[in-house]
Amino acid sequence: MLEINNLHVKLEDEDKQILKGVTLKIGAGEVHAIMGPNGSGKSTLSYVLSGRDGYAVTEGSASLEGEDLLAMEPEVRAAHGLFLAFQYPVEIPGVGNMTFLRTALNAQRKTRGEPEVSAGDFLKLVREKAKALHIDADMLKRPVNVGFSGGEKKRNEILQMAMLEPKMCILDETDSGLDVDAMKLVSEGVNALRSEGRSFLVITHYQRLLDHIKPDVVHIMAAGRIIKTGGPELALEVEHNGYAEILAAHKLTEVQ
Protein backbone atom coordinates (compact mmCIF):
# COMPACT_ATOMS: atom_id res chain seq x y z
CA MET A 1 0.00 0.00 0.00
CA LEU A 2 2.44 2.65 1.24
CA GLU A 3 6.10 2.35 0.48
CA ILE A 4 8.63 4.83 1.77
CA ASN A 5 12.25 4.45 0.74
CA ASN A 6 15.23 6.23 2.26
CA LEU A 7 13.25 9.46 2.55
CA HIS A 8 15.32 12.54 3.33
CA VAL A 9 13.51 15.79 4.03
CA LYS A 10 14.75 19.22 4.97
CA LEU A 11 12.95 22.47 5.63
CA GLU A 12 12.58 24.40 2.39
CA ASP A 13 13.68 27.76 3.77
CA GLU A 14 16.23 26.56 6.28
CA ASP A 15 19.20 24.32 6.22
CA LYS A 16 17.61 21.93 8.66
CA GLN A 17 17.41 18.24 7.89
CA ILE A 18 14.45 16.62 9.63
CA LEU A 19 14.03 13.20 8.06
CA LYS A 20 17.29 11.39 7.48
CA GLY A 21 16.46 8.27 5.59
CA VAL A 22 13.07 6.85 6.54
CA THR A 23 12.21 3.47 5.09
CA LEU A 24 8.81 1.94 5.75
CA LYS A 25 6.53 -0.50 3.97
CA ILE A 26 2.91 -0.94 4.93
CA GLY A 27 1.02 -3.73 3.25
CA ALA A 28 -2.68 -3.65 2.41
CA GLY A 29 -4.83 -4.17 5.49
CA GLU A 30 -1.94 -3.67 7.91
CA VAL A 31 -1.82 -1.41 10.90
CA HIS A 32 1.53 0.10 11.76
CA ALA A 33 2.32 2.30 14.72
CA ILE A 34 5.09 4.85 15.02
CA MET A 35 6.29 5.93 18.42
CA GLY A 36 9.21 8.16 19.20
CA PRO A 37 10.42 11.11 21.25
CA ASN A 38 9.11 14.62 20.70
CA GLY A 39 10.68 16.30 17.72
CA SER A 40 11.86 13.09 16.11
CA GLY A 41 10.05 13.85 12.85
CA LYS A 42 6.79 11.89 13.08
CA SER A 43 4.48 14.77 12.14
CA THR A 44 6.92 15.92 9.50
CA LEU A 45 6.70 12.50 7.89
CA SER A 46 2.91 12.68 7.88
CA TYR A 47 2.93 16.21 6.40
CA VAL A 48 5.41 15.31 3.69
CA LEU A 49 3.32 12.29 2.75
CA SER A 50 0.19 14.43 2.47
CA GLY A 51 1.93 17.19 0.54
CA ARG A 52 2.26 20.18 2.81
CA ASP A 53 4.38 23.10 1.57
CA GLY A 54 7.57 24.11 3.29
CA TYR A 55 9.50 20.86 3.05
CA ALA A 56 12.00 19.72 0.44
CA VAL A 57 12.60 16.06 -0.29
CA THR A 58 16.33 15.77 -0.91
CA GLU A 59 16.50 12.04 -1.40
CA GLY A 60 14.34 8.95 -1.46
CA SER A 61 10.78 8.20 -2.52
CA ALA A 62 7.26 7.51 -1.32
CA SER A 63 4.54 5.73 -3.24
CA LEU A 64 0.92 4.77 -2.71
CA GLU A 65 -0.13 1.58 -4.45
CA GLY A 66 2.87 1.95 -6.70
CA GLU A 67 2.18 5.55 -7.70
CA ASP A 68 4.64 8.30 -6.88
CA LEU A 69 3.02 10.21 -4.03
CA LEU A 70 5.55 13.01 -3.98
CA ALA A 71 4.70 14.07 -7.53
CA MET A 72 1.02 14.61 -6.72
CA GLU A 73 -0.75 17.73 -5.45
CA PRO A 74 -2.21 17.27 -1.96
CA GLU A 75 -5.77 17.05 -3.30
CA VAL A 76 -4.74 14.35 -5.77
CA ARG A 77 -3.13 12.34 -3.00
CA ALA A 78 -6.40 12.58 -1.10
CA ALA A 79 -8.37 11.41 -4.12
CA HIS A 80 -5.98 8.48 -4.40
CA GLY A 81 -6.97 7.48 -0.90
CA LEU A 82 -4.47 9.11 1.42
CA PHE A 83 -5.84 10.66 4.59
CA LEU A 84 -4.09 12.43 7.44
CA ALA A 85 -5.85 12.96 10.75
CA PHE A 86 -3.99 16.08 11.90
CA GLN A 87 -2.20 16.32 15.24
CA TYR A 88 -3.59 19.87 15.38
CA PRO A 89 -6.86 20.03 13.37
CA VAL A 90 -7.32 23.40 11.69
CA GLU A 91 -10.12 25.86 12.42
CA ILE A 92 -11.83 27.38 9.36
CA PRO A 93 -14.13 30.24 10.37
CA GLY A 94 -16.97 30.87 7.94
CA VAL A 95 -17.00 27.36 6.43
CA GLY A 96 -19.65 25.08 7.90
CA ASN A 97 -18.59 21.58 8.87
CA MET A 98 -21.28 20.06 6.63
CA THR A 99 -20.30 22.16 3.63
CA PHE A 100 -16.70 21.20 4.24
CA LEU A 101 -17.46 17.47 4.36
CA ARG A 102 -19.67 17.55 1.33
CA THR A 103 -17.28 19.67 -0.72
CA ALA A 104 -14.41 17.33 0.16
CA LEU A 105 -16.34 14.16 -0.58
CA ASN A 106 -17.64 15.40 -3.92
CA ALA A 107 -14.31 16.90 -4.92
CA GLN A 108 -12.60 13.56 -4.39
CA ARG A 109 -15.29 11.74 -6.30
CA LYS A 110 -15.01 14.23 -9.14
CA THR A 111 -11.24 13.78 -9.32
CA ARG A 112 -11.77 10.03 -9.52
CA GLY A 113 -14.43 10.43 -12.20
CA GLU A 114 -17.26 9.27 -9.94
CA PRO A 115 -20.69 10.94 -9.73
CA GLU A 116 -21.42 13.37 -6.90
CA VAL A 117 -23.31 12.18 -3.86
CA SER A 118 -26.81 13.67 -3.74
CA ALA A 119 -27.71 16.03 -0.92
CA GLY A 120 -30.11 13.49 0.53
CA ASP A 121 -27.71 10.57 0.49
CA PHE A 122 -24.98 12.74 1.93
CA LEU A 123 -27.17 13.86 4.80
CA LYS A 124 -28.12 10.32 5.63
CA LEU A 125 -24.53 9.17 5.55
CA VAL A 126 -23.17 12.01 7.65
CA ARG A 127 -25.88 11.60 10.30
CA GLU A 128 -25.18 7.92 10.63
CA LYS A 129 -21.39 8.33 10.90
CA ALA A 130 -21.68 11.30 13.25
CA LYS A 131 -23.98 9.40 15.55
CA ALA A 132 -21.49 6.58 15.97
CA LEU A 133 -18.87 9.12 17.04
CA HIS A 134 -21.30 10.98 19.33
CA ILE A 135 -21.00 14.12 17.22
CA ASP A 136 -24.21 16.10 17.56
CA ALA A 137 -26.06 18.07 14.89
CA ASP A 138 -24.82 21.34 16.35
CA MET A 139 -21.19 20.39 15.76
CA LEU A 140 -22.01 19.57 12.15
CA LYS A 141 -23.55 22.98 11.59
CA ARG A 142 -20.79 25.00 13.20
CA PRO A 143 -17.78 26.26 11.26
CA VAL A 144 -15.06 23.63 10.89
CA ASN A 145 -13.40 23.05 14.27
CA VAL A 146 -14.13 26.60 15.46
CA GLY A 147 -14.68 26.55 19.19
CA PHE A 148 -14.46 22.75 19.28
CA SER A 149 -12.78 21.26 22.33
CA GLY A 150 -9.57 19.33 21.81
CA GLY A 151 -11.40 16.02 21.94
CA GLU A 152 -14.18 17.24 19.65
CA LYS A 153 -11.61 18.24 17.05
CA LYS A 154 -10.10 14.77 17.12
CA ARG A 155 -13.49 13.11 16.79
CA ASN A 156 -14.21 15.42 13.88
CA GLU A 157 -11.05 14.15 12.17
CA ILE A 158 -12.29 10.60 12.51
CA LEU A 159 -15.68 11.64 11.15
CA GLN A 160 -13.96 13.03 8.06
CA MET A 161 -12.04 9.79 7.70
CA ALA A 162 -15.21 7.76 8.01
CA MET A 163 -16.93 9.89 5.36
CA LEU A 164 -14.05 9.92 2.90
CA GLU A 165 -13.23 6.21 3.26
CA PRO A 166 -9.54 6.52 2.41
CA LYS A 167 -7.26 3.55 1.74
CA MET A 168 -4.26 4.79 3.64
CA CYS A 169 -5.03 6.48 6.91
CA ILE A 170 -2.37 8.31 8.87
CA LEU A 171 -3.40 9.23 12.40
CA ASP A 172 -1.09 11.74 14.03
CA GLU A 173 -1.60 11.61 17.79
CA THR A 174 -5.33 11.30 17.42
CA ASP A 175 -5.38 9.96 20.98
CA SER A 176 -3.84 13.00 22.63
CA GLY A 177 -6.42 15.17 24.31
CA LEU A 178 -9.05 12.44 24.37
CA ASP A 179 -10.73 11.33 27.57
CA VAL A 180 -11.07 7.61 28.24
CA ASP A 181 -14.53 7.33 26.69
CA ALA A 182 -13.64 9.39 23.63
CA MET A 183 -10.55 7.26 23.13
CA LYS A 184 -12.81 4.22 23.03
CA LEU A 185 -15.18 5.91 20.57
CA VAL A 186 -12.37 6.94 18.29
CA SER A 187 -10.77 3.49 18.45
CA GLU A 188 -14.09 1.89 17.60
CA GLY A 189 -14.39 4.31 14.72
CA VAL A 190 -10.99 3.28 13.46
CA ASN A 191 -11.58 -0.43 14.01
CA ALA A 192 -14.86 -0.23 12.13
CA LEU A 193 -12.90 0.99 9.13
CA ARG A 194 -10.26 -1.72 9.31
CA SER A 195 -10.47 -3.92 6.28
CA GLU A 196 -8.31 -5.84 3.89
CA GLY A 197 -8.00 -2.97 1.50
CA ARG A 198 -7.30 -0.28 4.07
CA SER A 199 -4.09 0.39 5.93
CA PHE A 200 -3.26 2.56 8.93
CA LEU A 201 -0.23 4.38 10.18
CA VAL A 202 -0.89 5.35 13.77
CA ILE A 203 1.44 7.89 15.37
CA THR A 204 1.16 7.87 19.14
CA HIS A 205 3.03 8.36 22.37
CA TYR A 206 0.91 5.98 24.37
CA GLN A 207 0.46 2.27 24.55
CA ARG A 208 -3.15 2.75 25.60
CA LEU A 209 -4.42 3.56 22.10
CA LEU A 210 -2.67 0.46 20.85
CA ASP A 211 -4.67 -1.62 23.35
CA HIS A 212 -7.73 -0.61 21.36
CA ILE A 213 -6.25 -0.46 17.89
CA LYS A 214 -4.01 -3.47 17.76
CA PRO A 215 -1.05 -2.80 15.47
CA ASP A 216 0.66 -5.45 13.37
CA VAL A 217 3.96 -3.64 13.45
CA VAL A 218 5.47 -1.01 15.74
CA HIS A 219 8.27 1.34 14.70
CA ILE A 220 10.39 3.60 16.83
CA MET A 221 11.44 6.84 15.22
CA ALA A 222 14.25 8.99 16.53
CA ALA A 223 16.21 11.85 15.02
CA GLY A 224 14.56 11.48 11.66
CA ARG A 225 14.96 7.74 11.24
CA ILE A 226 13.16 4.53 12.07
CA ILE A 227 15.61 3.02 14.49
CA LYS A 228 13.75 -0.07 15.58
CA THR A 229 10.89 -2.15 14.28
CA GLY A 230 9.06 -4.92 16.08
CA GLY A 231 5.68 -6.34 17.06
CA PRO A 232 3.15 -4.94 19.54
CA GLU A 233 5.49 -5.88 22.39
CA LEU A 234 7.79 -3.02 21.34
CA ALA A 235 5.13 -0.52 22.38
CA LEU A 236 4.89 -2.18 25.79
CA GLU A 237 8.63 -1.99 26.17
CA VAL A 238 8.57 1.75 25.45
CA GLU A 239 5.70 2.24 27.86
CA HIS A 240 7.69 0.59 30.66
CA ASN A 241 11.25 1.66 29.98
CA GLY A 242 11.02 4.81 27.89
CA TYR A 243 13.30 5.40 24.93
CA ALA A 244 16.63 5.64 26.72
CA GLU A 245 17.71 2.07 26.20
CA ILE A 246 16.65 1.89 22.58
CA LEU A 247 18.32 5.18 21.83
CA ALA A 248 21.48 4.13 23.58
CA ALA A 249 21.56 0.89 21.67
CA HIS A 250 21.05 2.80 18.47
CA LYS A 251 23.89 5.14 19.23
CA LEU A 252 26.16 2.16 19.79
CA THR A 253 25.32 0.72 16.43
CA GLU A 254 25.82 4.12 14.91
CA VAL A 255 29.27 4.43 16.39
CA GLN A 256 30.34 1.02 15.13
Ligand X SMILES: Nc1ncnc2c1ncn2[C@@H]1O[C@H](COP(=O)(O)OP(=O)(O)OP(=O)(O)O)[C@@H](O)[C@H]1O
Residue 107: which of ligand X, another protein, Mg ion, none does it interact with, CB under 5 to 8 A by kind? another protein
28: left (phi over 0), alpha (psi -120 to 50) or beta: beta
Sign of the C-alpha dihedral, residues 217, 221, 227, 228?
Answer: negative
Residue 160: which of ligand X, another protein, Mg ion, none does it interact with, CB under 5 to 8 A by kind? another protein
Per-residue binding string, Mg ion, 53-92, x by CB under 5 A, is ----------------------------------x-----
Query: Can you tell me the distance from the alpha carbon of 200 to that of 32, in angstroms, rounded to the nearest whole number?
Result: 6
| Residue 78 interacting with another protein (CB under 8 A) | yes
Amino acid at 191: N
Q: Which of residues 52-71 bind another protein (CB under 8 A)?
A: 52-53
| Residue 156 interacting with Mg ion (CB under 5 A) | no
Q: Which of residues 132-171 bind another protein (CB under 8 A)?
A: 143, 160, 164
Q: How many CB atoms lie within 10 A of CB 206?
A: 15
| Residue 204 interacting with ligand X (CB under 6 A) | no
| Residue 72 interacting with another protein (CB under 8 A) | no
Q: Which letter, b or e, does each residue of 1-28 get, where b requires 16 or more Cβ atoms within 10 Å of its Cβ? A: bbbbeebbbbeeeeeebbbbebebebee
Residue 103: which of another protein, Mg ion, ligand X, none does it interact with, CB under 5 to 8 A by kind? another protein
193: left (phi over 0), alpha (psi -120 to 50) or beta: alpha
Residue 51: which of ligand X, Mg ion, another protein, none does it interact with, CB under 5 to 8 A by kind? another protein
| Residue 103 interacting with another protein (CB under 8 A) | yes
Distance from the first to the final alpha carbon of the chain: 34
Query: Can you tell me the distance from the alpha carbon of 114 to that of 246, in angstroms, rounded to the nearest whole number?
Result: 48
Residue 61: which of another protein, Mg ion, ligand X, none does it interact with, CB under 5 to 8 A by kind? none
Which positions lie near Mg ion, rule CB under 5 A? Answer: 42-43, 87
